[in-house]
Structure 1
Amino acid sequence: MHVIYGGTFDPVHHGHLRLALEVSECFEGAPVSLVPCHIPPHRGATGATAQQRLRMLQQAIAGDPYLRIDDRELNRGGASYTADTLRQLRCELGDDEPLAMVVGTDAFAAFDRWKEWEQIPELAHIIVVQRPGMTLNPETRPGRLLAERRAGGTEALRHCASGYVLELDPPRLDISATGIRERLRMGRSARYLVPETVLAEIHDMGLYRACPVTKN
Structure 2
Amino acid sequence: MGQPRPLALFGGTFDPVHLGHLSVAWEASELLDAEVRLMPASVPPHRPAPLATPVQRVAMLQAALERQSRLSLDTRELDRSGASYTYDTLRELRAEQGTRPLVLLIGADAFAGLPSWHRWRELFDVAHIGVLSRPGVEARVPEALEREVAPRRVSEPSALHGVPAGKVIELAVTPLEISATRIRELLAEGRDPRYLLPCGLFDDPALLAPYRAAGQSS
Deviations 1:135-177 (Å, cap 9, x if unpaired)? 5434432333332311121011112110011011111211121
- Deviation of the 1:199 alpha carbon: 3.4
Deviations 1:66-93 (Å, cap 9, x if unpaired)? 0111111111121111000000000011
Q: Show the counterpart of 1:198.
A: 201
Q: Show the counterpart of 1:4.
A: 9
Which moves more between the two structures, 147-156 or 124-133?
124-133
8 Å contact kept, 2:201–2:207: no
Q: Show the counterpart of 1:84.
A: 88
User: Is the counterpart of residue 27 in structure 1 residue 32 in structure 2?
Assistant: yes
- TM-score of the superposition, structure 2-length normalised? 0.88
Q: Which runs of 5+ in 2 are unaligned?
A: 1-5
- TM-score of the superposition, structure 1-length normalised? 0.89
Cα pair distance change 1:99/1:167, threshold 3 Å: same
Distance 2:204 2:181 in 1: 17
Q: Show the counterpart of 1:162.
A: 165
Distance 1:131 1:208 in 2: 30
Distance 1:111 1:87 in 2: 17
- Deviation of the 1:41 alpha carbon: 0.8
Question: Could you say what secondary structure the match of 2:154 adopts?
Answer: coil
Equivalent pairs counted in the alignment come to 210
User: Is the counterpart of residue 184 in structure 1 residue 187 in structure 2?
Assistant: yes
8 Å contact kept, 1:108–1:128: yes
8 Å contact kept, 2:10–2:105: yes
Q: Show the counterpart of 1:45.
A: 49
Q: Show the counterpart of 2:3.
A: none
Distance 1:164 1:68 in 2: 23
Q: Which runs of 5+ in 1 are unaligned?
A: none
Q: Show the counterpart of 2:117.
A: 114
Q: Show the counterpart of 1:207.
A: 210
